[in-house]
């Protein structure tokens, strides 16, 4: 029999790891002196709370403010607070396992929408149920995706014009004017390492944009590259040609956040 590696033996003898507790226990334990928020007879009644979670505890990977809330209540609150202006899309022609990771990251950075291009079935394993909190849309082709994107931007532009005409305060006029400017500057951005692409480190992401990501291996399809307004790549310094789509999406989304941090609301999201 092969002898265990000494590092493995030392690790087992170290007494590590000790992990912190995630989430909260049943409401009766964490708030013993408070009435249950799902009791309609109490003045503190709040229909956002989930009875089953109040009974058994909430160990989900959610922010503390959402403890015991229903999935729908969390999703509605994210919409109310306002999602960011970027959207992400990934081509699903190869049933890429990275899609779930991208969806999870899109939730973390409050992406406006997630688009999946190609077959409807996708690998949800890496999403860890975060797709429930996102607006996920399916498209049979990248052409249909980009057409629908341009149609929505056109509708948002008209809304901004109407809002500007009807604005009654300087603040309203400024808000509608900015919305119109953001629509005018919107771009479809392909993320891939191809000739003519520009480095992300020097690229300025617009407020409203649609980021396109390809599958592990082949990258973006030719049609996706043709339909993009800009093509951007992530500079790399090792021996491999590319990083996986899930990692690339995370880098790109955080780059958008870093560039627009001054416009981001509620930066303390603990």
Same domain for 42 and 159?
Answer: no
Q: Are 70 and 50 in contact (CB under 8 A)?
A: yes
Same domain for 29 and 132?
Answer: no
What does the alpha-carbon distance between residue 267 and residue 270 come to, in Å, rounded to a whole number? Answer: 9
pLDDT for 266 beyond 70: no
What pTM did the predictor assign? 0.89
Sign of CA dihedral 74, 105, 84, 245: negative
Q: What is the pLDDT of residues 156-178, one digit of tens each?
A: 999 999 999 999 999 999 999 99
The answer as to whether 7 is a domain residue is: no
The answer as to whether 219 is a domain residue is: yes
Same domain for 62 and 113?
Answer: no
Domain boundary among 37, 55, 79: 79
Same domain for 169 and 241?
Answer: yes
The answer as to whether 55 is a domain residue is: yes
What does the alpha-carbon distance between residue 118 and residue 149 come to, in Å, rounded to a whole number? Answer: 16
The answer as to whether 49 is a domain residue is: yes
Q: Are 231 and 198 in contact (CB under 8 A)?
A: yes
Question: What count of residues does the chain have?
Answer: 270
Q: What is the pLDDT of residues 197-215, one digit of tens each?
A: 999 999 999 999 999 999 8
Same domain for 73 and 93?
Answer: no
Same domain for 235 and 191?
Answer: yes
Q: What is the pLDDT of residues 23-79, one digit of tens each?
A: 999 999 999 999 999 999 999 999 999 999 999 999 999 999 999 999 999 999 999
Same domain for 117 and 167?
Answer: yes
- Residue 241's pLDDT is what? 81
Mean pLDDT of the chain: 92
Beta-carbon count within 10 A of 27 CB: 23
The answer as to whether 18 is a domain residue is: no
Tally of domains in the chain: 2
End-to-end alpha carbon distance in the chain: 49
Residue 62 domain boundaries: 23-79
pLDDT band with cut points at 50, 70 and 90 for residue 99: confident
Region 258-263: what's the mean pLDDT?
84
Look up the CATH number of the domain holding residue 108. 3.40.1280.10
Same domain for 246 and 119?
Answer: yes
The answer as to whether 4 is a domain residue is: no
The neighbouring-strand residues paired with 191 are 232
């Amino acid at each position: 029999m092969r002898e265990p590696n000494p590092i493995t033996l030392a690790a087992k003898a170290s007494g590590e790891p000790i992990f912190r507790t995630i989430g909260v226990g049943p409401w009766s334990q964490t708030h013993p002196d408070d009435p249950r928020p799902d009791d309609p007879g109490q003045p503190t009644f709040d229909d956002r709370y989930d009875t089953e979670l109040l009974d058994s505890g909430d160990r989900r990977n959610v922010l503390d403010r959402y403890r015991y809330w229903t999935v729908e209540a969390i999703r509605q609150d994210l919409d109310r607070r306002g999602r960011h202006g970027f959207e992400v899309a990934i081509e699903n022609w190869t049933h890429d396992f990275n899609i779930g990771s991208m969806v999870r990251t899109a939730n973390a950075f409050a992406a406006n929408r997630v688009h999946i291009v190609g077959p409807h079935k996708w690998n949800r394993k890496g999403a860890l149920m975060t797709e429930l909190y996102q607006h996920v849309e399916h498209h049979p082709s990248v052409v249909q995706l980009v057409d629908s994107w341009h149609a929505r931007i056109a509708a948002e532009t008209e809304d901004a014009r109407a809002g500007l005409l009807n604005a009654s305060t300087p603040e309203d006029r400024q808000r509608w004017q900015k919305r119109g400017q953001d629509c005018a500057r919107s771009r479809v951005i392909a993320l891939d390492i191809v000739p003519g692409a520009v480095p992300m480190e020097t690229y300025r992401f617009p407020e409203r944009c649609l980021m396109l990501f390809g599958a592990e291996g082949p990258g973006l399809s030719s049609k996706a590259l043709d339909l993009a307004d800009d093509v951007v790549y992530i500079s790399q310094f090792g021996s491999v040609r590319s990083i996986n789509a899930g990692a690339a999406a995370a880098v790109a989304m955080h780059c958008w956040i870093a560039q627009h941090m001054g416009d981001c609301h509620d930066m303390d999201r603990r």
